[in-house]
Amino acid sequence: MDVTFDATKRELTTDKGTLRYHEAGDADAPPLILLHGSGPGVTGWRNYRGNLGHFAQTHHCYVIEFPGFGVSDAVEGHPVLTAGGSVLRFMDALGIDKAAMIGNSMGGVVGVNLAIKKPERVEKLVTIGGVGPNVFSPSPSEGLRLLQEFTDAPDSDLDGKRDKLVRWLTSMVFDRSLVTEELIAERWEAAINPDAQKTAQMMYGSAAFEMQQQFMAASDNPPYWASMHKVACPTLLTWGRDDRVSPPDMAMVPMRLIPDAELHVFPKCGHWVMIEAKAAFEAAVTSFLTR
């Protein structure tokens, strides 16, 4: 199924502003909600535009644009925490009681948290990297350090900041030819959006990272991944073997803790599994979802 931006874009008015999303597929097909990741210039459309047509053949698909990334209206609070609430508002408004979900990186964390706290809303879950703690690899990873460098770069040095964006984008993939001038220009334009810049500072700036480390050290609450044994739905963990943002050793904890989890690792593939291993990813996920 062919999909285009203008044909699939939608808006939904909620009590916390407008949520924008893309919709495709038969209205009578089972619902599938696609949750995007984070990083400069990210949107749900950019994460999943190449996959939407495929999954729309078997599911009624919704690609949500999380608040704070320059597309949906921003809301107060940390983007990872507010994203889960936006998914529930979205589902309630459209009368979706329960759905399968695909979450890329941060979107996977959002999906896991929903599966833990609202298990009745998540039918099946697919994650793409990003879920769990670093076991053997350094934290922050190389990719997150590069993301931090971009976020910290002063706006007065636009050339230097753009160079840092390119370095970060290159760390996202195994095949560097995927980082085209068109992709760089697209991401750069979106990354300098005021809402997106505010979100980046909250998530990846050096000051925010230090505050998060201090908070975690002083908190009595366990990290989200320590509760992954509560994820009751069937879960497919997908990972790029050459992921430099979320190294594959992170998969060990969710693979062990989530009771009904399976892991699929794609060779010669970085963080963007759904883009870099497109055909193999779509085949594995479709088999899992329709099983």
The rounded distance, in Å, linking the Cα atoms of 95 and 41 is: 30
The rounded distance, in Å, linking the Cα atoms of 264 and 287 is: 12
DSSP string, 247-259: -GGGGHHHHHHST
> CA of 91: how far to CAs of 65, 178, 196, 227, 260, in Å?
13, 34, 24, 24, 24
> CA of 184: how far to CAs of 168, 169, 283, in Å?
10, 8, 28
Q: Residues with Cβ < 8 Å from 107, sequence gap 6 or more?
A: 34, 35, 36, 37, 47, 83, 128, 130
Active site residue 78: no
Phi first, then psi: give them for residue 137, nearest 5 degrees.
-85, 155
Among the options 54, 59, 60, 271, which is catalytic? 271
Q: Are 225 and 254 in contact (CB under 8 A)?
A: yes
Structure-token pair, residue 254:
């969710």
Helix, strand, coil share of the chain (percent; to 5)? 50, 20, 35
Phi first, then psi: give them for residue 271, nearest 5 degrees.
-75, -30
Q: Residues with Cβ < 8 Å from 174, sequence gap 6 or more?
A: 240, 242, 268, 269, 270, 276
List residues with catalytic annotation.
271
